[in-house]
Structure 1
Amino acid sequence: MNLNSDLFRAKFSLLIVKMWKDEKLEKEFIINPLVVLKAEGFEIPEGIEVKVYSNTKDVKYLPLTKEIDLSKEEEQKRLIALFSRHIPIPKGKEVRFVQSSDDEIALIIPPKPPKESIETLSQVQLTNLAASSGFEATYHDTTQTLEAETTELVVAETTEAMHAETTVAVVAEVALVLI
């Protein structure tokens, strides 16, 4: 599975929601991300290290893919739009950029929403919240249908950097959908 693919992002968003509901799983993910990812059905190539970063109220991590090519004007505009959304940085706050490489993947855990939100929002709403809070620097302006197993879940994702909406139809394994 391509770690920068829409399928990976959709499955990772489902995992984030699962972690929001299960504190023990979140702690295990922070300590042993590869073990948790593999247990959840992610195919991680050999030799890849996974680094986990957690956003807080004072520190926001923004993931950058390894494929950034600053010689392309389109890429420059996208990154300027991303950077300008976070400038000026409020006093006491930090924005940190983390970039994946050939042998390392940076994954961001967004802040957990209030408990009442977790209890009252639907699975799709929670997944949308998770999706829109962790991948803003890596989203593409595409619509794609991906197939895996049996249950369909439609996730509407807003690309903050591009201010564009992407709808990803994901046919995911029942175990992933029934969190």
Structure 2
Amino acid sequence: MAKYTFVIMSDSHGDRHIVQEIKDRYLGKVDMIFHNGDSELPASDPIWEGIQVVCGNCDFGDYPDYLVTQLTDLTVAQTHGHLLGINFGFEHLDLWAQEQDADICTYGHLHRPAVWKNGKTLFINPGSISQPRGEINERLYAMVTIDAKKAKIDYLTRDHKIYPALSQEVRR
């Protein structure tokens, strides 16, 4: 398996500046950039060129609800999560990820960073880049590096510094 690096952000809620800053920092330097919805920006905004973006419950326009990105040897399933009822549990998200045969499933909506694995699928919520919720009150996005043996997940703050308490490696 090849080695891939992704940047994942979500729930920017109208803060175009931070989306542009992350895009400018990483476009062309990582394999993919994902935005998991609730940008509150128009779907036609040129900011989305080079970013895989899905619709959140606060978005309007021609965004897809779900995206599945197939790389040579890796499948990434992406959604905001609200349509799968993640406020009430992860069963529907897990089932959808299994249906996609996803290696990685990334989602947003909860504004809380999370990493967990079920079967072969690694689930990643990058938290919110603008409006965090829960016990970790830090505006975050995620950097994921994955190869055949492991995935390394680092959470970064808006000033692009690693938030070390959340960094982890997960065996594949």
Q: Normalized against structure 1, the TM-score is what?
A: 0.30
Q: Normalized against structure 2, the TM-score is what?
A: 0.31
- Name the structure, 1 or 2, with higher relative contact order (CA <8 Å, separation 6+): 1
Structure with the higher fraction of residues in helix conformation: 1
Larger Rg: 1
Structure with the higher fraction of residues in strand conformation: 2
